[in-house]
Amino acid sequence: MARLEKECFAQDAWPWWDLIGVLTFRGNVSLKAVKADQMIGFVAGDLKQAEHTGWIVTLGVAAAYRRQGVASTLLEICERRMARPRICLCVRRTNQAAIALYTKAGYQQTSVWRSYYHDGEDALVFEKMLKNRGED
Ligand SMILES: CC(C)(COP(=O)(O)OP(=O)(O)OC[C@H]1O[C@@H](n2cnc3c(N)ncnc32)[C@H](O)[C@@H]1OP(=O)(O)O)[C@@H](O)C(=O)NCCC(=O)NCCS
């Protein structure tokens, strides 16, 4: 997990104790994609901040397995398991791949957090409304 986190996020990689926290906190949804005994992707959703909103807090796929639908599948299953009517996330303004993924998955940009990242880059906040998802 820590290796994959570094591969996916480089400068934004979380320390291992934060990873353990996000993966083991009971209120979170965390999923991994595995191929040939190797973790090739992961997603985590945070349910604790607001009753009607879930936050996708991390999503990454190993470089060798990208553009094969792994992230889309993880995201969709995570959304379903979170069972919240509104799902939010934030992404670096220049992260074209992730922005394309979220747009294709039905997310819309709602706001900008100026200079959110440690190097001063803005975060774009996206949300998706999932009607009736709490019931399936
Ligand atoms: C962003 C990321 C998770 C996408 O993972 P993935 O498994 O390759 O995504 P998918 O194969 O499910 O892609 C679904 C769609 O997203 C869009 N997309 C994904 N990567 C793209 C890219 N590099 N360029 C343009 N569009 C892209 C495409 O529309 C794609 O559909 P298509 O392949 O049919 O055209 C992956 O590139 C990654 O791990 N990046 C580093 C970590 C990161 O930025 N995470 C998001 C943080 S907010």
Q: Could you identify the atom of ligand 1 that is nearest to the CA of residue 67?
A: 11
Q: Does pTM surpass 0.95?
A: no
Query: By alpha-carbon position, which residue is closest to atom 24 of ligand 1?
Result: 97
- Whether the CB-CB separation of 41 and 1 falls below 8 Å is answered with no
Instruction: Give residue-wise pLDDT tens across range 76-121.
Output: 999 999 999 999 999 999 999 999 999 999 999 999 999 999 999 9
Does residue 24 carry a pLDDT above 90? Answer: no
CA of 135 to the centre of ligand 1 (A): 28
Nearest CA to ligand 1 atom 30: 101
Lowest-pLDDT choice from 3-7, 34-38, 63-67: 3-7
Domain that holds residue 80: 2-135
How confident is the model at residue 15, as a pLDDT?
A: 86
Residues 66-102 as b or e (16 or more Cβ within 10 Å = b): beeebbeebbeebbebbebbebbbbbbeeeeebbebb
CATH code, domain with 108? 3.40.630.30
pLDDT at residue number 25: 78
For the cut 70, the answer to whether the pLDDT of residue 136 exceeds it is no
pLDDT in tens, 72-81: 999 999 999 9
Total number of domains constituting the chain: 1
Site residues for ligand 1, CB cut-off 6 Å: 8-9, 59-61, 66-72, 91, 95-98, 100-101, 104
